A and B are shown apart, each in its own frame.
Chain A
């Protein structure tokens, strides 16, 4: 219980400070979150859900927290040039856990669309925030969600009203920037009303060579006939720890695409909990991991088919080099009356060295009889015949390997619905495999 103690002490000592720099709606959940956190403690490797990543250990170091919410002097437009050619995006910067320029009105946005900080919006519309905040991310079920709810002071709110289709992709750039080891607790609330459509690209970056720990809770409400694309990309460094819990609730006939890409990182744990609450909804969850050195990436997904006639597809691919560790655990839960569920889960992995480890656990839990569910999982190497074929035709071994790995990962990238982004990622992945750049070209740090 040592890791927990510092957070318990911290909260007890700074209750007032935390609340003072936040808003009443968020403060309302704090005490319960604190109790839930104290009761659960951090999961260890003995906890089945966390057996491949020791969360408790990740929270052990003494990180600083910016509870006073002092602004960080940074001009992101100067230090980051983050654009994807031909992709019209609206950029929003989150530095550590604060939205930069929250009050700047964005004129390009269609009427009614809100992109702002939770605190700002809550000042005028507390009921709106209260209706959604913490409703999916239950503090009693997960210690990290509890910790995040207990410490988070602000967050990003995106609200797309009924029938509005946002053409531009909302690009949210999370920048970690300090001079000391820092822990940040990010919070995102996405509300997509009926018939509305919105696309997101979240990019995670580290600006300084410090140890960072970022917890992130994203809650997304996708109403009837609405569409949400949520792409997350991590490009951080080996001292970074990221624990992300994404909660998505889908109503009838809605569509969700969620794609998580990990290129550079330290230790990452991504949880996705998606539940179907209305019939005829569909989701695509996918992810790819390219890891080397001592990178550790653990993706954990739960798809909860609570109602009939929903479709889910899942595809995760890993390429592990050096001493990288990859883990994937996916659960498809088909509840008692969720007849005519159609669910497919695939996880394919390549271990390129003896010291790379892959753990995979594709699970099905089914309580309805008229369903079609399947899962497949493989761990293997590149096809030696394909390699031979290419070498016969004069392609060098190294190049042939790259081509095959590239093709392997591309299946995931091709699931994305944004063509310019796909192209950019193809390019990025290729660079990543070649080891030519240590970070993304478009998003690179300008010194």
Chain B
């Protein structure tokens, strides 16, 4: 017990000295294209990636549609009008690598520093990593080992080259390019992300993960991830992200598409720790993401787990379309906001098949002057007989200048659906704090303890390695909120 306490103290101390520990930059020569967005830029990105004609056509269609759209303003965040011409849409840190090496040592060092070893021998657990910096996948580990089972795990750029038919079949089939403003933007200029294909009957032998890193200045990251789980498969996929500390806001607009077929199960976990800006609200990443899973198969299952601690603005609604009969979906979320962070996050559960079930557990924690909103939709269509949903959204307020909001939508078009939603908002109870103090636990630690307990329901759903990281993150993000 004593040991644990000491370790905690040491951790808190180290955090007090360095608020955002991933805020360094890597000095690596990067090939950045000129700022601005027009048809030529879209063509340039496509040609740099040596893409086939159909993909360029897809990008151009998306770009032309994007031009007709307006930046949405319905979310409960104060999103400034972004100057899309002031951003560079492609940055390649690999372009100028030393001739005799596979990887620039600087890059390797960076990922080491982030705790993501790219050397396979250094990895203890069975986690395969796709490491992405700016617009390019730096390295994907364990590719060969996975290939033995028929699992494809590589960057989407590589997949376009090597498995064009698969990509063409599924790309944009869950999130069409016209879905929303940021999805259209991403479809026009997307760069690397991961591609996962699990062939029929295979249980993926290890956890797959991607690590996203923004490094270059004045760039945006537009990753695109596509996961296809064929019949009778299982895969667990983790995603982590960080960015350097900068005064200006950086844009991250991603799309994640997941296709789940008969009897397949996909678990998707995110620990989002983009740079949140400083304590005065300066800088930070705008995290504007469209994530959606299509549960096409019968008895399919998809589970989203997210721990959101970073980003100046989060705009993210990982959703599930429960098309297959008996499909099940889950959404577990912890969103922490501090200082001037703003988060508008939640999920959509669209019940279309018969006997579908979904569960939503969302825990919001707001501190400082931040605004934290849950926004969710549960829809049961006319054919979704016996749809069942349970949602629970709790908010915890730490401080009197922050806000916690809940905006649930329920659209029910079926008489056999059972939909339940409940939400509570409160602050940490004085009694709990007093109880901890009485037993010699200082208030700051007690808050950490209570918050971790509060979020446990969600943290328990994360794979082990991530759960530890997430717990640490929770304490870091709330540093300095007490007193």
How many residues of B are in contact with the other chain, CB < 8 A?
Answer: 35
- Among A255-287, those with CB < 8 Å from B are none
- Among B408-432, those with CB < 8 Å from A are 408-427
Looking at B151-159, B252-260, B336-344, B392-400, the stretch in contact with chain A turns out to be B392-400
A 344-369 binary contact with B (CB < 8 Å = 1; else 0): 00000101111111111111111111
A403 at the interface (CB under 8 A from B): no
Q: Is the CB of B412 within 8 A of A369?
A: no
Q: Is the CB of B412 within 8 A of A364?
A: no
B11 at the interface (CB under 8 A from A): no
| Known A366-B425, A378-B419, A378-B420: A357·B411 in contact at CB below 8 Å | yes
Q: Is the CB of A380 within 8 A of B418?
A: yes
* From B403, B409, B410, contact of A366 by CB (8 A): B403
Q: Is the CB of A351 within 8 A of B412?
A: yes
B402 at the interface (CB under 8 A from A): yes
Q: Which residue of chain A lies nearest to B378 when distances are taken between CB atoms in the complex?
A: A379
Q: Is the CB of A361 within 8 A of B410?
A: yes
* From B382, B397, B417, B425, contact of A379 by CB (8 A): B417
Q: Is the CB of A365 within 8 A of B403?
A: yes
Of the candidates B401, B404, B416, B418, the one having the most CB atoms from chain A within 10 angstroms of its own CB is B404
B405 at the interface (CB under 8 A from A): yes
B407 at the interface (CB under 8 A from A): yes
Q: Is the CB of A373 within 8 A of B410?
A: no
Q: Which residue of chain B lies nearest to A350 when distances are taken between CB atoms in the complex?
A: B415
* From B402, B420, B424, contact of A377 by CB (8 A): B420
Q: Is the CB of A381 within 8 A of B415?
A: yes
- Among A282-341, those with CB < 8 Å from B are 336, 339
B406 at the interface (CB under 8 A from A): yes
Q: Is the CB of A372 within 8 A of B421?
A: no
Q: Is the CB of B423 within 8 A of A374?
A: yes
A376 at the interface (CB under 8 A from B): yes
Chain A residues positioned under 8 Å from B409 (CB to CB): 359-361
Question: A361 vs B376: C-alpha distance in the bound complex, in angstroms?
Answer: 10
Chain A residues positioned under 8 Å from B76 (CB to CB): 365
| Known A365-B405, A375-B423, A381-B416: A354·B410 in contact at CB below 8 Å | no
Q: Which residue of chain B lies nearest to A321 when distances are taken between CB atoms in the complex?
A: B415
B74 at the interface (CB under 8 A from A): yes
* From B397, B408, B415, contact of A369 by CB (8 A): B397
Question: A380 vs B378: C-alpha distance in the bound complex, in angstroms?
Answer: 13
Q: Is the CB of A374 within 8 A of B422?
A: yes
Chain B residues positioned under 8 Å from A368 (CB to CB): 397, 400
B394 CB to nearest chain A CB (Å): 9
Q: Is the CB of B415 within 8 A of A371?
A: no
A48 at the interface (CB under 8 A from B): yes
Instruction: Enumerate chain A interface residues (CB-CB to B < 8 A).
Output: 48, 336, 339, 349, 351-381
Instruction: Enumerate chain B interface residues (CB-CB to A < 8 A).
Output: 74, 76, 382, 395, 397-427
**What are 6 A-B interface contacts by the 8 Å CB criterion?**
A358-B412, A360-B409, A361-B410, A371-B426, A373-B424, A374-B423
